[in-house]
Amino acid sequence: MNFILNTAAIKESLLSIASTDTHVATALDTVGYPSERTNPQGFTTLLKVIVGQQLSVKAAATIWGRVQTLAGENASPDAYAVISDEALRVAGLSRQKIAYFRSLCEHVTGGTLDLEALAAMPDENVIAAITSVKGLGVWSAHMYLMFSLGRPDIWPVGDLAVRAGIGRIINHTERPTEKQLQIIGDKWRPHRSAMALLAWHYYSNAPL
C-alpha cells in the first residue's frame, strides 16, 4: 500500500476541511500547512518508539545511538537476542523497556507480528497486531499508521498535544478529553490524520 499522507495530500485534505470549517481556515491562516512526517516501515522504527517513550527527543536520540552501537544500524531481532540485559541497561534502557524490546523481538521472530504484512492490513488490524507487543499501545500503533504507513484517517486522541492543539483551534477553554476529541473529530473524517498534523503544528507555532 502506497504512502499517501504526503505534503500535497495533507494540504488538499486541509483545504477541503477549511472550505466549510472557519476554525480550521483561521488556523491555516495563522500557522500555515504542516509538512509530511515519515518513518521507515519495520522493526527498527518500533524499537525507536519504545526507546522514546517518556523521554525528551534529545535523551531518546542519545540512548538510541548507544543501542545502535551495541547491535549495529538496522539490526535484526536476532542481533538483539545476543545482547545482554546488562549491556542494554548500560546503554540507558530501563528494565521495563528491555522487557518491551524482548517482547517485540519474540513477536517478530516467532511470526506473531508480521511487519511486512502490516502495509496491506486495515487500520484496526494494524492496531491489534502492534498492541499485541508488550509496551506498544494504541498511541504507538497510531504513530506507525500515520508516519510509516501513511494512513490518512488516523485520530490519535490519546496524544496530549493533539488534544491541546485541537482545543486551541476550535477555541475550547480547556483541553478536550479523549472522549470529547473522538466526537469532535468525527466531522473531519476521512482526513483526521491531516487534522492531527495541523494540531501538532498549531500547538508548536501559534502565538498564545
**Domains of the chain: residue spans and CATH:** 7-37+154-205 (1.10.1670.40), 43-147 (1.10.340.30)
Q: Please state, in angstroms and as integers, the Cα–Cα distance from residue 198 to each residue in 7, 161, 179, 194, following that order.
A: 12, 11, 20, 6
Residues 15-29 have a mean pLDDT of 98
Record the pTM. 0.93
Q: Summarize pLDDT for 42-92 with one digit per residue, the tens.
A: 999 999 999 998 888 899 999 999 999 999 988 999 999 999 999 999 999
Residue 113 has pLDDT above 90, yes or no: yes
How far is the C-alpha of 208 from the C-alpha of 202, rounded, in Å? 10
Q: Please state, in angstroms and as integers, the Cα–Cα distance from residue 136 to each residue in 8, 70, 176, following that order.
A: 30, 22, 24
> In this predicted structure, what is the pLDDT of residue 69?
94
How far is the C-alpha of 10 from the C-alpha of 15, rounded, in Å? 9
Cβ contact 48:135 at 8 Å: no
How far is the C-alpha of 76 from the C-alpha of 119, rounded, in Å? 19
Residues 150-175 have a mean pLDDT of 96
Percent of the chain topping pLDDT 70: 99
